[in-house]
């Protein structure tokens, strides 16, 4: 008996150790490799320190320019057609090149297409791009117009399941909607055309000429030409890889400034300069090393020990590092605002009263709001279009500088407007509902407004509804609220991405704002003035003034992000649209 027991223990022990060995085995091998890599890395760093000077962006310089950074998440996909999030867009933009490219500061510059040679027809509908003939894939094959045609057809193909493709091209590129749209049950809306990607309005006139046919003029089409989702793809390569395309380093083919050489999923990835890139001489870095670090404090500690060159910070860290020489704050073109529901079932008369809305829009301090709710470096917004986003096509002046502050916090003015509204509407006490998310931040937001408004606007009671994201969208779309807090980030580099939000029946116009004059100006900007940048801007500037004057919405703040950056990192600035960074231009100057 005793003997069997011990043999049983032995067997169990063996089973357990086999299990452990199976789990740990492969991993140890990987550890060794990694340790070696690390040593090499350290040695290179030492060389860099010793040698001092460098010679600008020249290749063949002695020191290796390495940027080390962290991301809070794994790259969800390296398939350009499927990318939706910031991390994927960032590294696809670093390794691929579309027709245009985003330069630091958000300027669009030539990519595979020569920007100065792009022709747009008089009606703004036909765009002809002339491609450079020296661009190559990382396997040496030339990049041609056919690669764009293939990629764009793939994006719009319902089989591909791209999210951004149909979203951006639908209603813009000829036949994009017909090829991809379905009804709510997934049945094709245009069965004759469904899936027929060859009907898409994009053609290769020859190997180096690409023609795109639009159904509406879109002066901002250049933004899509630079958006990482619309980069070319090598048909032979993609089809040869099949389902494995872009899953691992060996399943990818690049045409951008860098190539990915190592990708340890959810752990780290490495990019090195692409030797086959046509503009290799102007690529700023030799190597980019990215590690996944989800904990903010850990990332800051890594920055402190000099293991990474840049880190994003928020909350308490901002207070701690505010005076540090490494600290900087950059504005994002994301604006948050209050929408007032004019179709509210019970309170429509209130919500349609301009003084009532004005009192709400001005009756709190925007800076206090940022400090209380976010505690970051965001700035108050006094208009719809954010600052540091778009510049006048001729004068180069920032939109916000031209139109200035249109609807700022002013509690005294708010109280005056409140008194007038009471008189006009004949109420003394009123309750309105306010919806926001059920997250920690969502609750802080509603509590802030309840406090401030009830204090500043006597007689007002705010009924708070903190609901999950999906429910909030439903309440918003079905207009079951009086005030909602929402925000918008740009889809392309043009004021229109904000300006057409609040035209009559706009998809995101949840407050049902409607003004004939605004509608007319926006329509004109989209059609008549589409090819006249000056008039187009004037129309949009005018529309914003009218909207703010009428308190169409109550702008609250523009988001900003704070960073700690080593001084030797140059040109690493947030882009106003598309990918966060333009890695091609980032460089190290020690």
Q: Site residues (CB under 8 A) for other proteins? A: 4-6, 8-9, 12, 15-16, 20, 23-24, 26-27, 30-31, 34-35, 38, 70, 74, 76-77, 79, 82, 84-85, 158, 161, 163-164, 166-167, 170, 180-186, 189, 243-244, 247, 264-268, 291-295, 297-298, 301-302, 304-305, 307, 468-471, 473
CB contact set of 117 (below 8 Å; sequence gap of 6+):
130
Helix, strand, or coil (residue 22)? helix
| Residue at token pair 């404090």 | 297
Least distance (Å) from other proteins to the CB of residue 280?
Answer: 30
The candidate with the shortest Cα–Cα distance to 310, out of 15, 571, 24, is 571
Give the shortest CB-170-to-other proteins separation in angstroms.
Answer: 8
* Minimal distance, residue 173 CB to other proteins, in Å: 15
Of 295 and 401, the one with the shorter C-beta distance to other proteins is 295
Q: Using the minimum distance from each CB to other proteins, give the nearer residue, 17 or 59.
A: 17
Q: How many helices and strands in the chain, by DSSP H and E?
A: 19, 19
Comparing CB distances to other proteins, the nearer of 254 and 269 is 269
Closest CB 415 distance from other proteins, rounded Å: 35
- Closer residue to other proteins (CB): 71 or 482: 71
Q: Compare residues 19 and 431 and give the one whose CB is closer to other proteins.
A: 19
Rounded distance, CA 160 to CA 182, Å?
14
* Nearest-approach distance from CB 292 to other proteins, in angstroms: 6
Q: What is the dihedral of CA 545, 550, 552, 553, to 10 degrees?
A: 80
Nearest approach, Cβ of residue 263 and other proteins (Å): 12
Q: In this structure, what are the phi and psi dihedrals at residue 268, rounded to the nearest 5 degrees?
A: -165, 160
State which residue, 79 or 332, has the beta carbon closest to other proteins: 79
Looking at beta carbons only, is 189 or 205 nearer to other proteins? 189
Closest approach of other proteins to the CB of residue 258, in Å = 21
Compute the least distance from the CB of residue 473 to other proteins, in Å: 7
Q: Under the phi-then-psi rule, with left for phi > 0, alpha for psi from -120 to 50, and beta for the rest, what region is 66? A: beta
3-state secondary structure 132-154: CCCCECCCCCECCHHHHHHHHHH
Rounded to a whole number of angstroms, the minimum distance from the CB of residue 585 to other proteins is: 28
Helix axes 533-549 and 516-526, enclosed angle (nearest 10): 160
- Please, which residue, 79 or 382, has the CB nearer to other proteins? 79
Kind plus residue range of the DSSP H or E element containing 362: helix 354-362
Is residue 534 within 8 Å of 363, Cβ to Cβ?
Answer: no
CB of 298 to other proteins, least distance (A): 5
Using CA atoms, how far residue 300 sits from 75, 87, 379, 571, in Å, is 21, 19, 24, 21
Report the distance separating Cα 530 and Cα 513, nearest Å.
24
Residue 70 or 153 having the CB closest to other proteins: 70
Residue closer to other proteins by CB (options 317, 585) is: 317
Q: For residue 111, give the nearest of 95, 99, 128 by alpha carbon.
A: 99
Question: What is the helix (H) or strand (E) element at residue 405, kind and residue range?
Answer: none
* Closer by beta carbon to other proteins, 127 or else 498: 498
Query: What pairing do the DSSP bridges indicate for beta strands 460-467 and 268-273?
Result: unpaired
Give me the least distance between CB of 336 and other proteins, in Å please: 14
Q: How far is CA 260 from CA 310, 541, 569, in A?
A: 20, 43, 21
- The two tokens of residue 452 are 């401030």
**Terminal C-alpha separation, the chain:** 74
């Amino acid at each position: 008996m005793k003997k069997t027991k011990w043999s049983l223990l032995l067997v169990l022990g063996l089973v357990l150790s086999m299990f452990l060995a199976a789990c740990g085995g492969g991993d140890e091998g990987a550890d060794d490799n990694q340790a070696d890599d690390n040593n090499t890395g350290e040695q290179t760093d030492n060389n860099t320190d010793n040698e001092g000077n460098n010679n600008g962006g020249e290749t063949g310089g002695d020191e290796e320019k390495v940027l080390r950074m962290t991301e809070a998440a794994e790259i969800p996909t390296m398939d350009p057609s499927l990318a939706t999030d910031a991390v994927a867009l960032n590294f696809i933009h670093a390794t691929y090149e579309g027709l245009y490219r985003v330069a630091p500061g958000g300027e669009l510059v030539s990519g595979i297409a020569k920007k100065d040679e792009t022709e747009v027809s008089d009606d703004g509908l036909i765009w002809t791009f002339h491609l450079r003939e020296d661009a190559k894939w990382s396997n040496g094959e030339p990049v041609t117009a056919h690669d764009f045609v293939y990629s764009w057809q793939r994006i719009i193909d319902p089989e591909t399941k791209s999210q951004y493709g149909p979203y951006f091209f639908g209603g813009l590129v000829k036949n994009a909607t017909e090829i991809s749209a379905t009804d709510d049950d997934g049945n094709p809306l245009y069965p004759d055309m469904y899936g027929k990607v060859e009907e898409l309005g994009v053609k290769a006139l020859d190997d180096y000429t690409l023609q795109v046919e639009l159904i509406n003029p879109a002066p901002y089409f250049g933004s899509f030409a630079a958006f990482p989702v619309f980069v070319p793809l090598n048909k032979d390569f993609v089809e040869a890889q099949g389902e494995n395309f872009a899953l691992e380093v060996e399943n990818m083919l690049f045409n951008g400034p860098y190539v990915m050489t190592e990708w340890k999923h959810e752990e780290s990835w490495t990019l090195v300069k692409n030797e086959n890139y046509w503009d290799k001489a102007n690529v700023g870095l030799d190597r980019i090393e990215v590690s996944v670090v989800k904990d903010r404090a850990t990332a800051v500690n890594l920055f402190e020990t000099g293991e990474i060159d840049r880190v994003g910070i928020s909350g308490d860290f901002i207070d701690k590092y505010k005076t540090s020489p490494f600290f900087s704050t950059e504005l994002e073109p994301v604006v948050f605002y209050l929408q007032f529901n004019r179709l509210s079932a019970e309170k429509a008369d209130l919500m349609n009263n301009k003084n009532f809305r004005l009192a709400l829009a001005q009756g709190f301090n925007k800076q206090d709001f940022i400090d209380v709710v976010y505690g970051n470096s965001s700035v108050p917004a006094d208009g719809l279009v954010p600052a540091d986003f778009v510049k006048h096509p001729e004068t180069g002046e920032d939109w916000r500088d031209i139109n200035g502050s249109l609807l700022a916090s002013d509690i005294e003015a708010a109280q005056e407007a409140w008194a007038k509204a009471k008189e006009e509407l004949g109420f003394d006490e009123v309750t309105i509902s306010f919806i926001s998310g059920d997250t920690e931040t969502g609750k802080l937001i509603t509590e802030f407004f309840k406090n401030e408004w009830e204090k500043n606007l006597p007689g007002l009671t705010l009924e708070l509804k903190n609901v999950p994201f999906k429910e909030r969208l439903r309440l918003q779309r079905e207009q079951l609220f009086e005030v909602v807090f929402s925000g918008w980030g740009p889809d392309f580099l043009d004021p229109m991405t904000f300006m057409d939000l609040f035209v009559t029946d706009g998809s995101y116009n949840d407050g049902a704002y409607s003004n004939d004059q605004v509608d007319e100006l926006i329509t004109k900007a989209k059609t008549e003035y589409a090819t006249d940048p000056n008039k187009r801007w004037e129309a949009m500037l005018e529309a914003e003034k009218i909207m703010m004057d009428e308190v169409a919405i109550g702008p609250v703040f523009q988001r900003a992000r704070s960073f700690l950056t080593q001084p030797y990192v140059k040109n690493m600035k947030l882009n106003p649209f598309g990918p966060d960074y333009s890695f091609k231009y980032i460089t190290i100057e020690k």
